[in-house]
A = this chain, B = another copy of it.
């Protein structure tokens, strides 16, 4: 099937300059702040975004070394299917994170709970809407007895160059 080509609309700035030690999810980021720099030609698209408290960032895992169909997740010890884990070594290296939007100044978004590596290319921004994005009666498979370790989980650099 045909290839699909995207172009970054911006870049994410954070205090995490190396994969090792970067929080693995916004919920484990301990309030870390960062900035999303949206390239000026896309600035008009940010209109009305400041009314939302949370936004979904879709980005490219630019530092990942190769793709794999299985991986050992940061929060586990067993090899799992790549689509059953959230790690970056995926066939299409797309990441999503829902972060808190603190404010918008021109083309800069000030964000909190950042679990994203500094310099990450941004592909899209969507407003987070609980009626769309929250589900009830959820089962979380292999994560069921591991999720309580989330607060202390950080990247150990295993997936990156």
Contact = CB atoms under 8 A, between A and B. Distances in A.
Interface of A: 1-9, 11, 25-27, 38-39, 42, 44-56, 58, 60, 69-70, 80-86, 90-92, 94, 96, 98, 100, 121, 123-135, 137-144, 147, 150
Contacts of A130: 134-135, 138, 140
Given A26-B132, A45-B83, A53-B137, A1 B6 contact: no
B133 A98 contact: yes
Contacts of A9: 91-92
Question: Secondary structure at chain A's binding surface: helix, strand, loop or mixed?
Answer: mixed
12 contacts: A5-B6, A27-B131, A45-B69, A47-B84, A52-B84, A54-B135, A55-B83, A58-B92, A83-B127, A98-B133, A98-B135, A129-B147
